[in-house]
Every structure is written in structure tokens, then in C-alpha cells.
Amino acid sequence: MIDTQPARSDSVLRFLRSQPLFQGVSPPSLNAIARTSRFKKVPKGSFVFFQTDPASAIYVVRRGAIAIRLEDPDGRELIINEMNRGDCLGELSPLTGQPRSTSAEAILDSELLLIPRETFLLVLKQEPAFARRLLEITAQRLQDSSRREEALAFHDAEQRLAGVLLMLDAAASDRGYVSLSHEELAQRSGLTRQTVSAILGRWRRRGWLLTGRGHIVLLNRGELDLLID
């Protein structure tokens, strides 16, 4: 269950001023966002929105982490992105007026700033710098999406899993330590859990990594790099 709490506008304003996304936005626009927006607590495992939901707001992560999930007609799910502090999510559907194209799930206890669609569109119209920044974010995400699609189309199972592990390792604060279950790795690589477990077992026997309950320790990144070169 998502817990929505009213937030004083000065608290929202302080958060907005601390985020690169809103740098250069005029004080009147920041005040408009602060007056109409609120923080939402999203416990781990709760969904912010579901694929095909109507879009009434965008969100900015204040703390925690949100997984962006894509479900295909067969019911299979793929995690296509992860949003952390300062990242915005759900911004495309309010622009297009179309339903959500993905789902968003908290993978840690999280708190988000909810900005209503009407406020978002008004600020976007009045603040060219903000609009440019969102375009840059969208362009980068499209490039990342193209790379993921290329990996799914042209890489074999081992290459896909190696790429996911190296990407997660590069983003982790504790290098060499990946805190994900086999099921979560399967969702990020577009593979089945059984396939992920079989590959990790082979790599463990080769001495490339160690596996434990919900975590993986990378011992030989070089061999994983060679798989995807």
C-alpha cells in the first residue's frame, strides 16, 4: 500500500532546489510545483503505477529505488531501468496523453515527489531550460533502450547476463558485490530463472564469481568482459 502524506511546500521547495533536474527553473515555477506537489512513501514491493494505467502525475525519487518493468503479451516481465535519488519517472505519458507504457515498483523502501500532470505541463511550457533537460534525459533513455534491444536481439544468454552483472557492478557503491536474486537477474536480462541459475553455476565452478542468498561476488570481471567484447 502506498502512503500519501501532505508535505509543507517549503520542504518540497528545498528538495527541488537541491536537484540538478530543476536547476535554472524560475522561483515562480518552483513555487508552483511546491504548492501543488506532495511526497509519497512507497514501501518495498509496492507499485507506483501499473502498465496501461492513466497518467495523472510524474514522480521524482527523493530516496530509495524504483524498478521500471515492461510486461509482454505473454506475461513475461523485464526490468528495463532503475530510478534512484533525483531521477524522474513517468514523464512521457503525461506529455502524450497515452496510458502508462511500463510499471514502476519500489525495490527499496522509497519516497517520491508527486507532481500533478497539470503543474508539470505548465512548468514545461514556461521553462525552456527545464524542457531541454527533460529532452536530454529522454534521448539518453532512448539510446539505452536501443542498446538493450540490441543485446536482447544479438547477444546469447551468457553475454546478456554478463552485461547485466557488469552494469550493476559499475553502478554499485561496493564494487564486486551485486545484491540481486536469480529471479531479479532473470528479469533484467530477459532470461528464465533456470537459465540464470545454470549460467551462474558454470561461472562459479570456473572461479569467476561466488553466489549466496540474494547476492553475487564478482571475482573475475575480465572473463565477463571478454564474453561481451
- What does the pLDDT look like over 215-227, one tens digit per residue? 899 999 899 999 8
**Structural domains of the chain in order of their starting residue, each with its CATH number:** 3-152 (2.60.120.10), 155-228 (1.10.10.10)
Please indicate, yes or no, whether the overall pTM of this predicted structure exceeds 0.85: no
DSSP class of residue 22?
G
Angstrom distance (rounded) from CA 176 to CA 166: 9
Sign of CA dihedral 57, 61, 63, 68: positive
Instruction: Show pLDDT as tens, one digit a residue, over the chain (229 residues).
Output: 455 444 468 899 999 999 999 999 999 999 999 999 999 999 999 999 999 999 999 999 999 999 999 887 666 778 888 899 999 999 999 989 999 999 999 999 999 999 999 999 999 999 999 999 999 988 888 887 777 666 666 788 898 899 889 888 887 767 788 888 898 898 888 888 899 999 999 999 999 999 988 889 999 989 999 988 7
For the four alpha carbons of 49, 63, 3 and 58, in that order, the dihedral sign comes to negative
